[in-house]
Amino acid sequence: MSRWFGRAGAIVLGAALLGGCASFTGEPASLVATGDFAETAVLTEFSTLNSEVERRRYRDRIVYHWIGLSDAGYIAFRQNLSREMKGLETGSSIAVLIMNGAAAVSGAEAARALAVGSATMIGANSVFNREVFMEQSLAAALSTAEAARLRAMTQIRRRLLLEDTSTYPLGDALIEVRALNAQASINNASVQMARTAANELTDAQAEALTVVRMPLVSPSIQAVREAFSAYVIAETRLPTLHALAQLLAVAKPGDQTLSEADGLRIYQQDIADAYALRAARGADVINALSPQLKAITEREFKL
């Protein structure tokens, strides 16, 4: 019991302390896109596009823009959280409620630990070093929330990579981005910590690596694809990217699109995806492309 409570029970205890300030905000602000990126505007524009190439490129651009808004909101939320924590005076009553609730959804051993923690807090509130608890628990709660965000992000990126707009239309993608934004809730994090003491962030990072992996190819082919993808994502010179796009039959976006960070990132991903699909055909295709790629990149991608 001591091992569980030391690692997870103390986390829930500390996270619960966050509820003591009346001005405390437990989640980021709602995701709001404006102007040309507003939900109604983008869904209307999306419905007017006829070709799958246009629909997919537009979907990806809008989704990445919304993800950027979510990331900015998450950063602001963390900064505000830090300021609000400094003004926190008391939180034990909220902590008792959350700990008792956590006990209700935990296993027997965890429930006993949380119940003991609740009773201890009531009887010895003045003994707690709130600063230490808040600092440690905030870090743990944010790690849990960040892991949930990373999982949601991984799911969105995987679907953008693998699905066309008939199975993953823009409307569905935006719903998932809103869900991504909500994953940073401290309240949600406290429930998750009550259910499991696993290393959420480590698991999520391992899962995120699978986005670029397609297991139906040999390890050697996958290694070449990943090397090319890493090169393209790091390459920002447009002449080089245009040459690669022409070789791999990737449509060149307009200059205005390329001037946006999201537009360049999508262009790079399109090139990497086009190569990945060709390379999946086997070593002969990879080696046939190698001389032409070397002439453009001065690097060798072959088996």
Task: Read off the tokens for 180.
Answer: 């991504």
The one-letter code for the residue type at 63 is V
What residue spans define the domains of the chain? 2-210, 213-297
- Tell me what the mean pLDDT of segment 107-129 comes to: 48
Answer yes or no: is pLDDT of 105 > 90.
no
What does the pLDDT read at residue 73?
A: 86
The pLDDT of residue 139: 73
| pLDDT band of 98, cuts 50, 70, 90 | very low
pLDDT confidence of residue 287: 92
Query: Both ends of the chain: CA-CA distance in Å?
Result: 54
- Of 231 and 134, the structure prediction assigns the larger pLDDT to 231
Pairwise CA distance, residues 299 & 283, whole Å: 17
User: Is residue 130 predicted with pLDDT exceeding 80?
Assistant: no
Which region, left, alpha or beta, applies to residue 249 given φ > 0 means left and ψ of -120 to 50 means alpha? left
pTM over 0.75: no
**Integer Cα distance of 113 and 13 in angstroms:** 11
Least confident of 1-10, 27-36, 201-210: 1-10
> Nearest CA to 116 among 15, 194, 13, 16?
13
- With the C-alpha atoms ordered 42, 43, 46, 48, is the resulting torsion angle positive or negative? negative
Average pLDDT over residues 178-197: 72
Question: Looking at the predicted structure, is the pLDDT value of residue 61 above 90?
Answer: yes
* Host H or E run for residue 184: none
Q: Given pLDDT bands bounded at 50, 70 and 90, which one contains residue 11?
A: very low
The C-alpha atoms of residue 31 and residue 178 are separated, in whole angstroms, by 7
Q: b/e for 91-118, b at 16 or more Cβ within 10 A?
A: bbebbbebbbbbbeebeeebbbbbbebb
pLDDT computed for residue 256 by the predictor: 74
State whether residue 280 is helix, strand or coil: coil
- Alpha helix stretches (DSSP H) within the chain: 2-4, 10-16, 39-48, 52-86, 92-105, 108-123, 130-162, 170-182, 186-195, 200-208, 219-234, 238-247, 255-258, 261-279, 283-297
* pLDDT, greater one: 18 or 175: 175
Q: What percent of the chain has pLDDT over 70?
A: 62
Q: Which two tokens stand for residue 287?
A: 């080696």
pLDDT-based confidence at residue 37 (cuts at 50, 70, 90): very high
Look at residue 277 and give its three-state secondary structure: helix
Predicted confidence band of residue 167 (pLDDT cuts 50, 70, 90):
very high
